[in-house]
Each structure stands twice: as C-alpha cells, then as structure tokens.
Amino acid sequence: MAEKISKSGRRQHATIKEVAELAGVSQMTVSRVLNRRDVVREATRARVEEAIRELKYRPNLLARSLAGGNSLFIGMIFNNPSNSYLSELLIGAMNRCREAGHHLVLEDFSSYKEPEDVDELVGRVSGAGLDGILVVPPLSEDDLLLSKLDEVGIPCVLIAPRTRSGSGTSLSIDDEAAAKQMTEYLIERGHKRIGFVIGAEDQISSHRRYSGFQMAMAEAGLEIDPDLVRRGRFTYRSGMEAADRMLDMADAPTAIFASNDDMAAGVIASAFRHGKRVPEDISVVGYDDTPIASAIWPQLTTVRQPIAEMGYQSVDLLASFIGDEDQAGKDLHPVLDVAIIERDSVKRVS
C-alpha cells in the first residue's frame, strides 16, 4: 500500500493529476479516457489505463459533478419509512443517482395527516433548493398534495399514481395485465371456481386488478360467481373476513386471488380456521411480493413488481424532464412489466 495518509488519518485517493503525471499526458487526456468521449489513441489510452490501475485511481464524484455542472438534487418524499417497498425504491434510485452524479435527498412526510399539514411540508421541499421530486406511493395518490406540488412548480415524477395523466411525469406498472396473467395462471392449473378479494375502494389499483381478473375469466369463458367476489381494505383482517364468507359456502371456491399479499395472508388464516389445508384443499395467490409473502407458510405465489427498477428509472425520467425544454416525442408515463413468483400456495386441480 503506497497510499498517502493525511494527518487526519484518512486515506488519500490518487487524483487525476497524479495519473496524468505517471502516464506522461495531460489531465484532459485522462479525463477523456475516463469518459470515453472522443477516441483517444490506443497507445496513450493503454498508458493511462495502466497508470489508473497502478494508482488505484477512482474519480472523485464530487469534483466531477461540481465541474460538470449537471448534477441534480433530487428529493424523494414518502410517508412510510418502515416499508420494504421504500427500501427497494431507494436502492434503485440511489444507484442511478450515484451513476449519474445526482444527489438524493430524503424527505419524510409521515407527519402529513391532516390537509392543513400539506402547506408546511410542500414549503419544506420547495424551499430546499431541490431540482425535482420523486413521489412515493401512497403519496402519489394524494390529489391535494399533488396539486400543491404542481402549484409551486417543482418537477415531479409520480411513482404508481392514481392516473397516468397530470402535468408531470409518472412511472407505473400494468396492474390490469398482471392480474389477468395471474388469473390465467390459476385457470391453466384447472381452477374454475375462483374467488376474488378486491382491494380498498379508493385506490385505483384495486379496480385495475379486479378488471384484469374479469378479463381473464371472460376470455376463458368462465363465470364469476358474485358471492365469490368480496371487497377488502388491503389489510390482513379484511382478507380473513372476506375469505370467511367464501369458505362458509357449501360450494366453496378451489382458489382465491387476493389483491395484495396482506389480504392473501388473511385468506390463509381463514382457511386454517376452517380446517382447510393450503394448497391441498384450496389455492391462494396474492399480489405485491411483500416480505409477508415469503414469511408465512405456505409461501405465497404472488405478483412481483420491479420496484428497484422503478426507482432507477424514475431518476432518469426526472432528469430528462428537467433537462429538456421540449417534452415532444418522449414517453412521459412509461409502464413497466411484472412477473409471477411461483411459490407453494397453488395446486393443480383436476
């Protein structure tokens, strides 16, 4: 280790200047091979790369952003800090921010309970010198907040918002297609009497997921028994209650599709209370692939959203929205695909 140690005991990293000296070129040339801009001659590039390796040089991101002048301060607002969804979003967003030299600033909006709170909170982000904001659900479904944000004119990317319109940009996943796919998965495995637990009435994803279920059933020529469709509130308990009603029926379903994992876990609890085994006596599927899906037993077959990917892309979306005057020709509301995660809660019936 030939590293210099400053008086503070910190490691000094090699700088571009030292690399340039070792390679016998100018700083600019080093900078060029780093950024692969114009083609540096093969021979010089090799020398520079050798020097970089030797000195274990790593570009200083701070200096890079400062000099480059194109580094955004991006805020991320959320109201549920203890949430695995947030954790994945954060990872995706941070990774992209680091790559692109942007800076992510977290703003906790947990204290937002009453409509009166919104002004203070929005003031906090608008006065913070942020270049743009990433709005994490369920904040992205809050019309009051959204309109206030729009008022102060700060660029926003809404993550999984209620609607895909609006003055800003948004990033969503196709709930309808996903629910349709999951229903088809059940149908392919021989299920015909399928129960469905709808989510909370005020969340748009509830409707879209139910609609996907309806589409798949219709396409397969299967009938939906109205008694097998119950509304829940996206909570464990509401899922349990919904299932209680279905399983009390003489002609109980062979499978239940709950609109999220919490409710699906509640459905499984209800099955236990009714002396039924999962998946032998009844198949259960969820949606979201939250930690509860793999925590419970049997582990839940469910729908997984590419959450980290959304975090990653949301940064780019915001950056391109801020960077360009004209938004023409750009997809301001991209939609991402989901995947079915097969675990142990579904069984084929004959």
Partner DNA sequence: GTGAAAGCGCTAACAG
Partner DNA sequence: CTGTTAGCGCTTTCAC
Footprint of its own copies on this chain (CB under 8 A)?
Answer: 8-11, 13, 56, 58, 60-63, 65-66, 70-73, 81-84, 86-88, 90-91, 94-95, 98, 103-106, 108, 127-129, 131, 235-237, 240, 262, 265-266, 268-269, 272-273, 289-292, 295-297, 307-308, 322-325
Integer CA distances (angstroms), 111 to 79, 85, 117, 136, 145, in order: 8, 19, 8, 15, 13
Residue 41 CB, shortest distance to its own copies, in Å, is 27
Structure-token pair, residue 290: 């939250």
Of 34-42, 119-127, 284-292, 317-325, which segment contacts DNA by CB under 7 A? 34-42
Integer CA distances (angstroms), 332 to 82, 154, 162, 182, in order: 29, 16, 15, 27
Q: Which is nearer to its own copies, 106 or 349 (CB)?
A: 106
* Residues 46/31, Cβ–Cβ less than 8 Å: no
Q: What are φ and ψ of residue 288, in 5° steps?
A: 120, -30
* Residue 252 binding: pick among its own copies, DNA, none (C-beta 5-8 Å cut-off by kind): none
Q: Does 17 bind DNA (CB under 7 A)?
A: yes
Q: Does 35 bind DNA (CB under 7 A)?
A: yes
Q: How far apart are CA 216 and CA 160, in angstroms?
A: 23
Give the number of C-alpha atoms closer than 13 A to the C-alpha of residue 143, restricted to the C-beta side. Answer: 6
276 in the Ramachandran plot: left (φ > 0), alpha (ψ -120 to 50) or beta? beta
Q: Does 29 bind DNA (CB under 7 A)?
A: yes
Q: Amino acid letter at 190?
A: G
* Residues 292/265, Cβ–Cβ less than 8 Å: yes
Please report, as residue ranges, which positions from 37 to 76 form the binding site for DNA (by CB under 7 A).
37-41, 43-45, 57, 59-60, 63-64, 66-70
Q: Which is nearer to DNA, 34 or 215 (CB)?
A: 34
Residue 169 CB, shortest distance to its own copies, in Å, is 14
* Residue 88 binding: pick among its own copies, DNA, none (C-beta 5-8 Å cut-off by kind): its own copies
* Residue 27 binding: pick among its own copies, DNA, none (C-beta 5-8 Å cut-off by kind): DNA
* Residue 237 binding: pick among DNA, its own copies, none (C-beta 5-8 Å cut-off by kind): its own copies
Classify residue 115 by its DSSP letter: T
Of 35-43, 203-211, 225-233, 284-292, which segment contacts DNA by CB under 7 A? 35-43
Residue from 31, 83, 235, 299 in contact with DNA (CB under 7 A): 31
* Residue 17 binding: pick among DNA, its own copies, none (C-beta 5-8 Å cut-off by kind): DNA
* Residue 32 binding: pick among DNA, its own copies, none (C-beta 5-8 Å cut-off by kind): DNA
Closest CA to 16 of 5, 29, 27, 2: 27
3-state SS assignment for residue 284? strand
Q: Does 159 bind DNA (CB under 7 A)?
A: no
Residue 263 CB, shortest distance to its own copies, in Å, is 10
| CB-count exposure of residue 129 (10 Å: 0-12, 13-18, 19+) | exposed
Q: How far apart are CA 259 and CA 205, in angstroms?
A: 9
- Residues interacting with DNA, by CB under 7 A? 12-13, 15-17, 25-29, 31-32, 34-35, 37-41, 43-45, 57, 59-60, 63-64, 66-70
